Structure 1
Amino acid sequence: MSLFNKMLASIGVGSAKVDTVLSKAVFHAGEVMEGVVKIYGGKTEQKIDALYLAVYTTYIRESDDRKFTDKAMIQKHKVLDGFTLAANEEKEIPFSFVLPFDTPVTKGATRVWIQTMLDIASAVDPTDKDYIQVEPTTLANTVLKEIENLGFRLRKAECEQASRKYRGVYPFMQEFEYVPMTGEFYGKLDEVEVVFLSQTPEKAELLLQIDRKARGFGGFLAEAMDQDETFVPLTVHKHETSEIKSRIYQLLRKYS
C-alpha cells in the first residue's frame, strides 16, 4: 500500500463499511439474538483491530431542573478479534448473543438499537445502527398484563435516570406508568408506577410506586408534599405466575 493510500485509510476515505443483518426485528428480553455482520472493504487494505456489537438505549437525565436525553450501553459483545481486510474484500461474519433480561421494553418513548463497530486504529470507525423491537420476558409480561386486568391503562413508559438508592448495573430504570380507568381502584388511586429492578429466568424484582388520590384537605396537603406515594418492593417467581394478580391486588388494596 502506498503512503498516500495509508493516509487515506487513516482518515476514513475509501475505508471499510459494515452492515448488520439481524435474523428478525422483534426479540424478547433474554432471547438469543442471531444475525450476520457484512463487512465491505474500501479502496485500500485496512487492519481491523476488533468487531463489536453493542446494545444501546436512551434515558432521561435531570440536572439543574432541566431534562437531557443520554444514551446508555446495555451490553457490548466482541464478535471477532483483529484481522486484515483487503481492498474491495467482502466478509460475512455470523454472530449470536443473549439479549440481557434487563433490556428495556420498547414501549412508549423507549428505543433500543444494535450498534455495530469496527475498531480501526487511527481511523474513523465505521458503524451501523439497527433499531429493534424488544418485548418483555414472559414473567414481566404477566405482571404488566395482570395490572391491566385490574382496570389500569398504560399511560407512559420511559427510561429515567435511577436514583442512587435503586441504581444497579445501569444508570437508568424503565418506568411503566399506569392509571386506573375502571374497576375497584378507579377513584382511589391516581397512578401506579412499575419498575423492574432486576430480572433472571426464574424471578423478577419489582418496585411499585402507588399514588393515592387526594381525599379532603389533609389529602391535598399530603399530595402537595408527596406523602401520598408509597414505594412497595415485590418479588415474583416463574413458578407462581397464577398468584401474581392476587398479590398485586392485595398490595394495591392495602395502600389505596
Structure 2
Amino acid sequence: MVFKRLLGSLGVGGPTVDTVLDPGAARPGGTLSGRIHLVGGTADHDVEHVALELVARVETEHEGGGPGGEGEGVLTFGRQVVAGAFRLAAGEETSLPFTVALPWETPVTELHGQPLGIVLGVRTELAVAGARDKGDLDPLSVAPLPAQEAVLEALGQLGFGFRSADLEPGRIGGTGQKLPFYQEIELTPPPRYAHQAAEIELTFLAVPDALEVVLEADKRGGPFSDGHDALSRFTVPHEGPAGPQDWSALVDGWIQELVEHRASYGSHAVYGHDSGYGGHDPGYGGHGGHEAGHSGGGTGTGAALAAGAAGIAGGMVAAEVVDEVGDFFEDAAEDEDGEYDGYAAED
C-alpha cells in the first residue's frame, strides 16, 4: 500500500512525491531501503532536502480522548536526511535510492506475516524554498528478531494466548530503554498459571548484542488479599551457539520466577534476570497501569497464539484490523500540517 498525493503546502502545480519501500518486512536494528520518486511541478523548484521520518501510532492518555481519557497520537522516533540540495526542473522525473537504519527498539508489527495491530510508518518530507511538506506516508512492516520470535514461539508452546498489542508512551524504570515509548504485548495465561495471573504483559528491548525481555504479571488476589503487579527482567543473546537450546524451558522458568518470587531489582546478565515487585515506576512513565484491549483489540482482532510444535501460529486476523491500519494512514496523508493528535514531528 503506497500513498501518493499532491504536496499541498507547496501549492497547486508543485512537485509530487511517491516513496516505495523495498518488499519484505524489516527487522529491529536492521536497515530499511527503497526509492523516492519525484516529479517536478509546473515550474522549476530548488529542493533544499529530502528526509524520511519513522513514525508510530502511540496510545495516549489525555482529555478529549476516548473512554477513560485514552486516545492515539503519532510520535516520530527516527529521522534521516536522504538527499541534500538540488534543482528539480518542471516536469522532471527523478528517483532517489535510500537506506535507513532502524533503531534496535523498533516495535514488531507482525508475526509469521500476521499483523499484531501495531501501526508504524515512513513519512517523506520534501523541503522546497523554505516550505516543508510531509505528504507521503507509507506503512512499515517489522518482523521479530530471531530471539524475539523464539520467545514468542515458546510462549505459544506453553499455552499462552494473544490478547492485544499496543505502543505505550513513557519509559520502563530500571531498563536501558532509548525510545520514548515501548511495545506491550498482552497475553492470556494457560490454565496452570491462570490462578496466579490474570494477564502477562511482554516487552522487548533490544540492543546490538542482546535482547532484554520485560515480563509483568497482573497477579490475582486471594480472598483476603488484593491483587498486584509483579515485574521481572531477563536478558538473552540474539542468536548463535551461545543461545539457549530449550527456549520453552527457559521461558517457562521466567514465568515461574515472575509469578512466584518477589525479589528486588539486582544486576542483570545474559541468561540472568532482574526481578522486581510493583511493576510501576512513576518517574519513568511505568510499565503497565492501563487496561487491556487497546489498539490491538481483543482476541478477535489480533494474531492468535497457539500451543503446539509450531509455537505461535499465524491466526485469523479480523478485517477490521486491516481496515483500521489503512484508515489511519489515509487520514494522516490527508493532514496538511504535519502534526497529528498532539504530537509534533521532531526535526
Q: Assess same fold via TM > 0.5.
A: yes
| SS at 1:253 equivalent | helix
String of CA shifts for 1:62-94, please: whole Å, max 9, x gaps. Answer: 136511211111211211111111111111111
The answer to whether the Cα contact below 8 Å between 2:155 and 2:251 also exists between their aligned partners in 1 is: yes
Q: Which has the larger radius of gyration?
A: 1
Number of the residue aligned with 2:340:
none
String of CA shifts for 1:186-215, please: whole Å, max 9, x gaps. Answer: 43321111112x312421112110223333
| Matching of residue 210 in structure 1 with residue 217 in structure 2 | yes
Structure 2 unaligned spans of 5+: 1-7, 110-114, 261-347
For 2:230, give the aligned amino acid: T
Distance 2:183 2:47 in 1: 36
Q: Compute the TM-score of the two structures, normalised by the length of structure 1.
A: 0.84
Alignment of 1:182-221 (within 5 A): 182=191, 184-196=192-204, 198-215=205-222, 217-219=223-225
| Matching of residue 115 in structure 1 with residue 123 in structure 2 | yes
Alignment of 1:45-194 (within 5 A): 45-63=44-62, 65-106=68-109, 107-123=115-131, 125=133, 127-163=135-171, 165=173, 168-182=177-191, 184-194=192-202
Distance 1:72 1:62 in 2: 14
String of CA shifts for 1:150-193, please: whole Å, max 9, x gaps. Answer: 110111110011247368432211101111235x3243321111
Question: Cα–Cα, structure 1 residues 11 and 20, in superposed 2: closer, same or farther, change >3 Å?
Answer: closer
Question: Superposition RMSD on alpha carbons, in Å?
Answer: 2.3
| SS at 2:133 equivalent | coil
| Matching of residue 36 in structure 1 with residue 42 in structure 2 | no
Alignment of 1:14-29 (within 5 A): 14-29=13-28
| SS at 1:155 equivalent | strand
More deviation in 156-165 or 121-130?
Answer: 121-130
| SS at 2:216 equivalent | strand
The answer to whether the Cα contact below 8 Å between 2:54 and 2:123 also exists between their aligned partners in 1 is: yes
Number of the residue aligned with 2:3:
none
- The size of the alignment, in residue pairs, is 239
Greater strand share, structure number: 1
| Matching of residue 242 in structure 1 with residue 250 in structure 2 | no
